[in-house]
């Protein structure tokens, strides 16, 4: 009888042990599943966040490169036009008689457009106004209609602005406006000169894109090892 009870107790203990081990195993399994699920969520979140940071860095860096290139081009274009304006101004000063002949020739060329009643107003810079006010016959003999010379409130390098009272139409033949009209031609020539630089910049952009891709791959590999 006592032996039977002992054996029964042993069986009960083994059963309890088995149940306990099973419960422990189940708990470990569930904990492992929860841990893996949590780990996958963390990995996905980290991957998403890191990729967003990389993509943001890529976009902002490429934008900055383009902005800097455009800024440099605009600055150089401005300096080029300023240098051309200064060069023309020096040529006018060094040979003013040729310049005044150029003004007269230009007025003759546009006579068929601007010679309309009742009056033609020609606006000049202060230097040219002083000259043609004292030599107004050179301009007046070109036109049939009355001509009025006017000094510009805003000074410019050279040329003139012609205003027709009939229809209040204005024609701008100032040096600055002529250069502005030819800006597209200057830009084309300018682009030819700096075509090699644009190739280098494009290569720099491509290299940075590849760097970002490599960083993404490195993170994926790291997270794979982390698992």
Give the integer Cα–Cα distance in Å for 91 and 73: 27
Q: Is 171 exposed, middle or buried (0-12, 13-18, 19+ CB in 10 A)?
A: middle
91 contacts: CB under 8 Å, gap ≥ 6: 99
Q: What is the pLDDT of residue 169?
A: 86
Strand partners, 150: 123
To 10 degrees, what angle do helices 2-94 and 183-193 make? 120
Per-residue pLDDT tens digits of the chain, which is 227 residues long = 433 443 444 454 445 444 544 554 555 555 555 556 666 666 665 566 666 666 666 667 667 777 777 787 778 778 888 888 999 999 999 999 999 999 999 999 999 999 888 889 999 999 999 999 999 999 999 999 999 999 999 889 999 999 988 767 889 999 999 888 877 777 776 666 666 566 666 666 666 667 666 665 655 555 555 45
- Residues 138 and 176: beta-carbon distance below 8 Å: no
Kindly state the helix (H) or strand (E) to which residue 199 belongs, with its residue range. Answer: helix 195-226
């Amino acid at each position: 009888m006592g032996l039977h009870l002992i054996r029964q107790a042993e069986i009960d203990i083994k059963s309890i042990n088995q149940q306990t081990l099973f419960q422990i195993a189940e708990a470990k399994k569930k904990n492992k599943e929860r841990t893996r699920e949590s780990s996958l969520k963390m990995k996905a979140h980290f991957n998403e966040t890191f990729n967003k940071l990389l993509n943001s860095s890529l976009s902002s860096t490429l934008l900055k490169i383009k902005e800097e290139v455009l800024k440099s081009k605009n600055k150089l274009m401005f300096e080029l036009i300023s240098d051309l304006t200064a060069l023309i101004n020096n040529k006018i000063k060094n040979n003013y008689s040729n310049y005044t002949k150029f003004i007269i020739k230009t007025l003759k060329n546009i006579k068929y457009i601007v010679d309309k009643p009742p009056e033609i107003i020609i606006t000049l810079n202060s230097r040219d106004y002083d000259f043609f006010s004292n030599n107004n016959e050179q301009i007046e003999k070109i036109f049939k209609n009355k001509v009025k010379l006017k000094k510009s409130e805003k000074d410019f390098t050279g040329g003139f602005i012609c205003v027709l009272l009939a229809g209040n139409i204005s024609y701008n033949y100032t040096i600055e406006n002529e250069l502005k009209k030819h800006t597209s031609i200057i830009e084309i020539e300018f682009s030819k000169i700096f075509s090699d630089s644009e190739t280098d910049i494009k290569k720099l952009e491509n290299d940075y894109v590849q760097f970002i891709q490599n960083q993404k791959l490195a993170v994926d590999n790291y997270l794979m090892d982390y698992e």
